[in-house]
Structure 1
């Protein structure tokens, strides 16, 4: 999903250029399904304050991410990063953004606003395209401009109906969009970057958990075995889908990943409406219809661009072969 954390280093063989593999598709699909069904887990911890849940997500992710780094033999990258002030400053920024994203998501599920989280993750790729145009001066084609415009109209429809902006959706899209933007500038691999972020957050998160437990406000073990297991499981539901996704991402084309990213918010939407029975009135129907149309336009543009690059690459290869044949003749 335009998802709720960073992508770690891919620990799979490099695929041939511009080819999908069944193995990669299986890994990516599994990850998106896990992200899609994550609201069930978050609903199970909805009685626990979102800040406490996020703190446990961070603390219990550290040993998992650390074990992966040890397995990959990439601990030296972390040592170098810890001695580089610029890298650490950027890690602090991205860590703050991902914490905000997690906090909004966890709170929204517990507050019966799961529909809004689905909308936020649908908007996310469009907001990323918008960020690229504004901050990186990337050129947008007509289809991309139309897709972004429809997304803005969808948000306006919801704002008009609710008497205010759908801040959960906007907050998720903004926090993840800026996180992804700044994360690209972090000069370490994705897996190392993820570990660095949660390492930055580890001490304050652990301190917060200790404070809650010492003041009788914590849920780790003091409210029963169920809460203890659920809070320890926060690390698994955070890190495991990322590692599975990592094994698939490098075995798939970017355009394939671009289309597959809608699997998770679609599952979240279905769960919100048909399982959690959250309200889904006419305004939300119109807004989601506009978003789905905008995503269809955006996806078709993405596929056209990919095919254009393929044709250009094929043409260049053919020209290179002809040039080689002429030089031999």
Structure 2
């Protein structure tokens, strides 16, 4: 029985699908937080994510290993850098949701796998296969088409793609020592001073909305911690149960859902040039996926089976 067909594999598929479904519909959650602005939303997301993680660490009695990680300077500083990158990602993503640019945010996560290929070339000195170079070239043409048609660089998409790409790259370097809960706890702990400063600035300018709109609105802000941590926990559970190739396919669920939310629910404009740009990105992704499948099969065939 294959890894996916087994009971463990089916559970992994459920965890992965749940994670990406939550991530896909996340823009609607942020929109429901109006009249809170992007800076206040991200600040509360940091605060309540840290609170939720602290509760999880206490309930699971894993706070001692977490405190031990904080005493390891290399890991602690690496997670600080990861925190800075995820802050950029969160702030950009929330801004895109609240400013009616969900489709461009989806583009960022479509581009993300191609950015990951770039990082492998520049930082890990990996050599690309011809199909991978083709995908990279097509994606660059797509970005040019989108930039020329819009009259500006799609900075939201590129910021999301590169911030999350570097974030994933850094997390992989410490993934053997830091689990999902401990990682998010360390990242949000580092970001707590930033959140406090943002809340002070918001309070002195536009005014803090927490507790002033309605009980439901306040609960939704508190729920930012849950809606941030739960998908990460689901993804961590899925990654332990599923082959990397399967996870690679499922990762496109989130941007597909985000794209559909932007076009069908929020009615964002899709010009002909924008359709062409997105189509080129999707073509590049299809090439990457097919190349990955062929490479994986070739690798398996080259490894003799043990009898």
TM-score, normalised to structure 1, is 0.86
Equivalent position of 1:220 in the other structure: 210
Give the whole-Å Cα distance in 2 for the aligned partners of 1:29 and 1:17: 13
Equivalent position of 2:164 in the other structure: 176
**Preserved contact between residue 58 and residue 201 of structure 1 (Cα < 8 Å):** yes
Equivalent position of 1:300 in the other structure: 290
Match of 1:153 among 132, 135, 141: 141
C-alpha deviation, 1:198, in angstroms: 0.9
Please report the RMSD computed on the Cα atoms of aligned residues, expressed in angstroms: 2.2
- Does residue 1:80 correspond to 2:75, yes or no? no
- Does residue 1:23 correspond to 2:3, yes or no? no
Structure 1, unaligned runs of 5 or more: 1-14, 322-329
**Preserved contact between residue 90 and residue 182 of structure 1 (Cα < 8 Å):** yes
Equivalent position of 2:87 in the other structure: 99
Give the whole-Å Cα distance in 1 for the aligned partners of 2:236 and 2:211: 33
C-alpha deviation, 1:74, in angstroms: 2.9
- Find the residue that maps to 1:21 and give its secondary structure: helix
Matched ranges for 1:1-329 at <5 A: 21-186=9-174, 188-191=177-180, 192-209=182-199, 212-213=202-203, 217-313=207-303, 315=304, 317-318=305-306, 321=307
Change (3 A) 1:113 1:129: same
**Preserved contact between residue 46 and residue 109 of structure 1 (Cα < 8 Å):** no
Change (3 A) 1:18 1:186: farther
Q: Tell which deviates more after alignment, 100-109 or 216-225.
A: 216-225
**Preserved contact between residue 3 and residue 242 of structure 2 (Cα < 8 Å):** no
Give the whole-Å Cα distance in 1 for the aligned partners of 2:186 and 2:281: 35
Give the whole-Å Cα distance in 2 for the aligned partners of 1:234 and 1:214: 23
Larger radius of gyration: 1
**Preserved contact between residue 213 and residue 220 of structure 1 (Cα < 8 Å):** no
Per-residue CA deviation, residues 58-98 of structure 1 (Å, 9 max, x unaligned), is: 11111322233334443233222322333222222111110
C-alpha deviation, 1:179, in angstroms: 1.2
- Find the residue that maps to 2:269 and give its secondary structure: coil
Give the whole-Å Cα distance in 1 for the aligned partners of 2:66 and 2:99: 37
Give the whole-Å Cα distance in 1 for the aligned partners of 2:153 and 2:264: 24
Structure 2, unaligned runs of 5 or more: none
TM-score, normalised to structure 2, is 0.92
Change (3 A) 1:17 1:260: closer
